[in-house]
Amino acid sequence: MKFPFEVPSIELEANPDLYISAVFSCLESEFLVLPKGDGFVDYPMFERGYESLKQATNGFQNIDAGPVTKAAFQNPMIIIILRTMLGFTPPEWAYVTTQRTGVEVSQGFVRTLDRNIRMSPLTALSSSRVAKERVVALVDTACQLLNLPVPEVGQDKIHRLDKADTSAGPAAIRALSGMGVPYAMLLYERFLGRPFAGHRDSVSELVGDSLESAIEDVLAKAGVSYRKTKRAERIAGFDQAPDFIIPSEFNPQVVIEAKITEDDGTARDKVTRVQHLASISLMGSSENSPRFEVVACIGGRGFGVRREDMKKLLLATRGKVFTLKTLDSLVEFTRLREFKSK
């Protein structure tokens, strides 16, 4: 079976389904394995914070802001535990805190606080006046919410705190923490999300880095000059910079988009991005002589869902679609071979 990058465009256009199947056959998904990345909190560290909060509240008998705040400054992981109990994202916690206390807590402050704690969980929190005021407000808001039963809402709605551990105030927390179910583990899995979705979102760039690193290895081994762009970088001639420009942004002859996705909706967006690059390549040029060649390197099950999307991708790149399994053919079957020096 031939791959789309091995045949002329006219053959690809005549029988796209055959080559769609060829690409699908070599797509791989790594959604079961995630990079930890910087700031990953392992379970023992998370449980340590949980036990500190449990002690500060006398086994969740007294969820009082004063003792909890004092303990949080000594063991910052308590902040992570409180947010996980609430089930809030950092920006959501900041918003609710500002609304309930009148203390201006910005989303940026809470995001930075959350990341700093995850990066260095054993480092005591800053006691500067502004930081302390905001942390006190955050803890106070959390304790208020955890001490209250879930308010009534319409039957067509559900309250975010209507969860097994927070639906009935402290009584529900105590009941769950005292059951055979390890409450700390439940919270840890909630912290990671869906499960691990919260962590997956935080390392999404690292997941993509695995494919980009593989491309860099191929280019380096062939001695191909390239420019790897940074996230959201502005490059003249491109409203959205491609991931790689060969040989340079001053003379683009080949551009490479490296995309991994496990979601078919996101895959469609990424296909549209490649189509846009293809349209830019034709500005001021003929259909048979584009300004630069567009190459797509893809991975993840998201690209293997919609055949129509893959057809668009193949036509936009004239068949220059590669996966991790076919990356060893990247130089040979694209204009990259013109820049090979090894």
Q: Model confidence over 30-89: pLDDT tens digits?
A: 666 677 778 889 989 999 999 999 999 999 999 999 999 999 999 999 999 999 899 888
CA distances from 297 to 39, 219, 255, 300, 313 (A): 29, 13, 11, 11, 11
**The token pair that represents 38 in the structure block:** 């910087």
CA-only gyration radius of the chain, Å: 26
- Tallying the residues shown for the chain, one arrives at 342
Phi, psi (rounded to 5 degrees) for 44: -55, -40
Residue spans of the chain under pLDDT 50: none
pLDDT, residue 193, reads 66
pLDDT score of 286: 81
Where are the chain's structural domains?
A: 4-33+203-339, 43-195
Q: How far apart are CA 22 and CA 311, in angstroms?
A: 12
Q: How far is CA 260 from CA 51, 160, 300, in A?
A: 38, 32, 5
DSSP run (H or E) holding 337: none
* Number of Cβ within a 10 Å radius of residue 22: 21
d(CA 34, CA 143): 33
User: Is it true that the peptide bond before 247 is cis, omega within 30 degrees of 0?
Assistant: yes
CA–CA separation, 208 vs 231, rounded Å? 12
Beta strands across the sheet bearing 293-299: 227-228, 244-246, 254-260, 293-299, 321-322
Pairwise CA distance, residues 300 & 145, whole Å: 40
Element containing residue 212 per DSSP (H, E):
helix 204-222
pLDDT of residue 240: 87
Whole-number pLDDT of residue 311: 95
User: Which tens digits make up the pLDDT trace of 231-266?
Assistant: 778 898 898 899 999 999 999 999 999 998 877 788
Structure tokens, 156: 């067509």
CA 180 from chain centre, in angstroms, equals 34
